[in-house]
Amino acid sequence: MALKSKQFWLVFAMSSLSILFGYYTVDIYKVFGQTNELLNHDAYLTWVGSLGSVCTSLRFLWSAALDHLPYRLIYGVLLSMQIALACTMSFAVRSQTTYLVWICLALFCEGGHFTIVPNTLKKTFGEQATSLYGFMLTYTGFSSLALIVLLETKLGKSYIEFYLVAAGCSLMALILLILAFDESKFVYDPDQLKAAVKKRLKKTSDSQLFGSAKSSAIKQ
């Protein structure tokens, strides 16, 4: 039931759209820097990657904020940051300092997905959140495949232009968050719940009967 809910699929769609920005940054921050004479220094780019990894590990800050503030606000801030960072990447490459800050913030947002999503599932779906997250996590694979396909098109030829594509994806996620997502706790339909329980009991009963019949046949 929860798997078929509008809330679940909206979280899936929004997460798939928004994590594209972080995945793209992880993939290209070094080669992108190497195309710029000011940034093309191995020691500097290694430093960028190291600090970026530290920022990714700070994902717990998003989770802590979500304990006190609504998902719509926290995720909205993350999306707004991504849109701003992606749209101003052409400015960031003009300085080693700004490029470092932009990449670190991008990876901070990327890491946030892995704490914000499970937390909002727990708030929305309660005890079913753990099993749902197993399926929800496929959004990362879906986004990765979409990224591979998009990079093979003309859009993938320019780093700056693709960052604008990533900004557009985050903007679409923000629109869905504002206009469509319902943050209230998911309410299970009693009739659907009874039907699901009956179906499971029947399946268990049929399985036991089949097992008994098979055992009797073997003994004979």
Domain assignments of the chain as residue spans, ordered by start: 2-186, 189-220
Which fold does the domain 2-186 belong to in CATH?
Answer: Growth Hormone; Chain: A; (1.20.1250)
CB 95 within 8 A of CB 38: yes
The CB-based long-range contact list for 182-188 (8 Å cut-off, 24+ gap) reads 182/6, 182/7, 183/70, 183/71, 183/72, 183/123, 183/124, 184/124, 185/123, 185/124, 185/126, 186/2, 186/5, 186/7, 186/124, 186/125, 186/126, 188/1, 188/2
**What Cα–Cα distance (Å) separates residue 175 from each residue in 19, 43, 109, 180, 217?**
15, 40, 18, 8, 61
pTM of the model: 0.82
Along the 220 residues of the chain, how does pLDDT read in single tens digits? 677 788 889 999 999 999 999 999 999 999 999 999 999 999 999 999 999 999 999 999 999 999 899 999 999 999 999 999 999 999 999 999 999 999 999 999 999 999 999 999 888 888 788 888 888 999 999 999 999 999 999 988 999 999 999 999 999 999 999 999 887 777 765 555 455 456 556 666 655 555 555 555 555 5
CB 120 within 8 A of CB 14: no
Place of tokens 């009874």: 194
